[in-house]
Amino acid sequence: MTTDKQRVVSSGYDQVADAYLDRFGVSAVRQKWLERLIGRLPVTGAKVLDLGCGAGVPVARELVALGHAVVGVDGSRQQIARARQNLPDAVFVEADMCSAVFEAGSFDAVGAFYSITHVPAAQQRRLIADIATWLKPGGILVASFGAGPAGEWTGDWLGTTMFFGHAGEAETLKSLADAGLRVLDSSVETQDNEDAAFLWIEAVRHRDLP
Ligand SMILES: C[S@@+](CC[C@H](N)C(=O)[O-])C[C@H]1O[C@@H](n2cnc3c(N)ncnc32)[C@H](O)[C@@H]1O
């Protein structure tokens, strides 16, 4: 279900799509975890879901350049328009990731870079369970979540109103485990391009989901 909070996020990104890319488009931390994801994929030809893909830069762009088939999902019409223009060879869907529907076992990997942190805390557990079903057995999830105390925040960000949600690190790790996603690595990392930290995880889908 799309809530008022998610509408704040999609209309906020409609307004700041270009400003976001200018300010946050380059990050050594994002690049490190993108390379982790790429390192888990076959050399080419994997099917990858990019949740909260933004303008498709840099994540979808690097995956497409390697010959992977990318499906990007974003709730912001303006972000999706930019992604389609930047990457005509990928598939981009304008949708709320919390109500998106994909067939079970559709993807070799799912990436969610700085996007689940905009999902209401109470909806993150269900979203994680959905992601697990969308992955093939043995499929990989690389994602960032909030770090520090759980909570939600709505306020001025990049000149628009934005919402952020964080279920808490322990709760996030429990949701991953309960969904049948075995965490291979996790760490809280401070951004190189802003005064903020995120919990990063790399996880693999068990053969049999609970
Ligand atoms: C911080 S940007 C990250 C963009 C890109 N992944 C990156 O690494 O730069 C977050 C993106 O997630 C999208 N997003 C946030 N919540 C979403 C939701 N519930 N469903 C779909 N997209 C969402 C926003 O519209 C925005 O484009």
Q: What is the pLDDT of residues 104-134, one digit of tens each?
A: 999 999 999 999 999 999 999 999 999 999 9
Tokens of residue 122, six digits = 């109470």
Q: Are strands 69-74 and 47-51 parallel, antiparallel or unpaired?
A: parallel
- Which pLDDT does position 1 carry in this prediction? 59
Residue for token pair 């909030």: 146
Quick one: pLDDT band at residue 209, thresholds 50, 70, 90?
confident
CA of residue 207 to ligand 1 center, whole Å: 29
Indicate whether 194 pLDDT > 90: yes
CB 198 within 8 A of CB 146: yes
Can you tell me which residue has the tokens 């279900």? Answer: 1
Contact between 166 and 117 under an 8 Å Cβ cutoff? The reply is yes
Choose one of 4, 6, 9, 84 to mutate for the ligand 1 pocket test, by most ligand atoms within 8 angstroms of C-beta.
Answer: 9
- State how far the Cα of 160 lies from the Cα of 172, in Å rounded to an integer: 28
